[in-house]
Amino acid sequence: MKYITFSLITLGILLIFSCGQAEEQEVTATEPIKEVTSQEKNTNDKNQMHFNISFQLEKVNNEHYNLIAAIDLEGGCFIISPYSPDSILLPFNLSITENNSLTTDSTLIEFPIAKEEYDSIINGQVRYVRENTTYTQKIKLNNQDDFEVAGKVTLLIEPSCVPYEIDFVISNKDGELTVIKTKTTSLL
């Protein structure tokens, strides 16, 4: 029990000291995404979040689509890439609930690709996403039946060190595939 308590305290201290310690770099915009199908409900987003995330579906053919999550960061804010080699910080993660209606490719495509940089607090390499970035997940429809499938994005906004969960739903109704952002929650 003492070992678990000590480990949790140590992890907490490392997370506190690692938040917000990286150097800032210039932020540039990415190419605009062609939105094929997108909707958005009232998501309880607040102005102090320092980011916006939107979802689009891009049709490749009748059964293949690209789910695109586009994150826009306010100046000076950044997130951790899902391809960051560190194991301390909370990286961007996109997940879809297991279901029979659609399947996902195991690869999440990041554009532009975040560059590795040294972080002296965690004493290691980290990939910080410092510019507006898109994440593309390939999905395949397994059937044309109507369905709703839940998904979630988790990320840590730096330098404020605030973790967030963003919920979304992919639905197929009468042959029309849509994605809707349903809720954004600060985990603090």
Q: Which tens digits make up the pLDDT trace of 19-31?
A: 544 443 333 333 3
Count of domains forming the chain:
1
User: In terms of Cα–Cα distance, which of 41, 73, 98, 99 is closest to 164?
Assistant: 73
pLDDT value of position 87:
83
Lowest mean pLDDT among 12-16, 120-124, 162-166: 12-16
User: In terms of Cα–Cα distance, which of 149, 185, 182 is closest to 42?
Assistant: 182
Give the CA dihedral 157, 127, 22, 183, nearest 10 degrees: 0
**Tokens 């972080």 belong to residue:** 119
Residue 103 has pLDDT above 50, yes or no: yes
pLDDT value of position 19:
52
**Which residue segment(s) compose the domain that 54 sits in?**
2-186
Residue 74 has pLDDT above 80, yes or no: yes
Number of C-beta neighbours around residue 170 at 10 A: 25
The percentage of residues in the chain with a pLDDT greater than 70, rounded to a whole number, is: 75
